[in-house]
Amino acid sequence: MRRFLSVSIISFIAIFIAACSGNNGSNETTSEGSGDSDTPIIIKFSHVTAIDSVKGQAAERFAELVEEKTNGKAKVEVYPSSQLYGDNDELDALISGNVHMIAPSVTKMVKLDPRWQYVDMPYLFEDQEHTRSFFESDIAQTILNSEQLASNDIMGLAFWENGFKHFMNNKHPLKDPSDFEGLKFRAQAGKVLEAQFEALGAGSATIAFGETYAALQQGTVDGTENTFNNIDTQKYQEVQEYLTISEHGRLDYAIFVNKSFWEGMPEDIRQQVEEALEEATELEWQLAADDNASSLENIKESGQVEVLELTEAEREAIQKALQPVYEEFTEVITEELIEGIRALK
């Protein structure tokens, strides 16, 4: 009887362990989105802008394309408007694998690779065609797939456009370097931007995007720099009198993914997802261009702002005044990257 009981207990334990092991395997397959062909791969895509923004529209289209191209074998869950993570948290969430894809402003990557400050370098890009040549170039791949990102389990896949920045202020027209002297501008955080305004004899203050309108209205700062679409949608024309079409810098996004997750997908599905991203990227570029163009018209038609277009000589004078920024930051951003971008003109 004892022998019978011992054998029965051992058999029961073996069956219990096997069952638990099977359940664990099933859970891992579900959470990782691989293994069982009936379980779709879930790609969590977090971003901080509204669903109807250019970025938001492109993200939603990307999700639709992924489901179409993979026949439902992969699905993108889009979380707009910082629903999961905000600007300050999404990069850490990507590294830890809590999300699989983000689309931050490229300046957010400076903490991992200082070369991403290229986007703030004044007059580095000549026009939109030059910018897009960079987005599709081999030199762009050197920072999208850098060792600094890979060591943090990140890889870059594509650039999404926001647009060229322009100067605004509520004191007087800005057409000459001397016009900037003594003014204070709202700017994103970054040493390059601090140096940019310093070179023009102006000051700068880092103020959150959502607090900029109030800062302009209350006179905390005299001016700002931003894209036409951001100026229009944030209604800066209500609290600023002068807009200079300067195209002196860029605001752009990039698509980053968790490297381990991405490379862990079946190759055929990953290829289909990347094809979907290519199509969504083309859409995003067109939406950004269209929105900036229509926003400029909205600003002009508002009658609230004097819109100034720089002559070639005026543009060159401001560009010359900003040369010290290159003297200070070329070594950090690297001559290879700066000259590589310039060579694409």
How confident is the model over 288-293, as a mean pLDDT?
96
For residue range 205-253, what is the model confidence (pLDDT) as tens digits?
A: 999 888 999 999 999 999 999 999 999 989 999 999 999 999 999 999 9
| Percent of the chain scoring above 70 in pLDDT | 89
For residue range 5-19, what is the model confidence (pLDDT) as tens digits?
A: 444 444 444 444 444
How confident is the model over 292-298, as a mean pLDDT?
96
How confident is the model over 90-114, as a mean pLDDT?
95
Instruction: State the chain's mean pLDDT as an integer.
Output: 90
3-class DSSP state of 157: strand
User: Does residue 34 or residue 148 have the better pLDDT?
Assistant: 148
- Domains located in the chain, CATH noted: 38-342 (3.40.190.170)
Residue indicated by tokens 């762009």 = 140
Q: Is 23 exposed, middle or buried (0-12, 13-18, 19+ CB in 10 A)?
A: exposed
For residue range 62-83, what is the model confidence (pLDDT) as tens digits?
A: 999 999 999 999 999 999 988 9
User: Does residue 123 or residue 209 have the better pLDDT?
Assistant: 123
- Contact status, residue 81 vs residue 211, Cβ threshold 8 Å: no
pLDDT at 37: 61
- DSSP H/E element including 38: none
How many angstroms separate the CA atoms of 335 and 199, rounded? 20
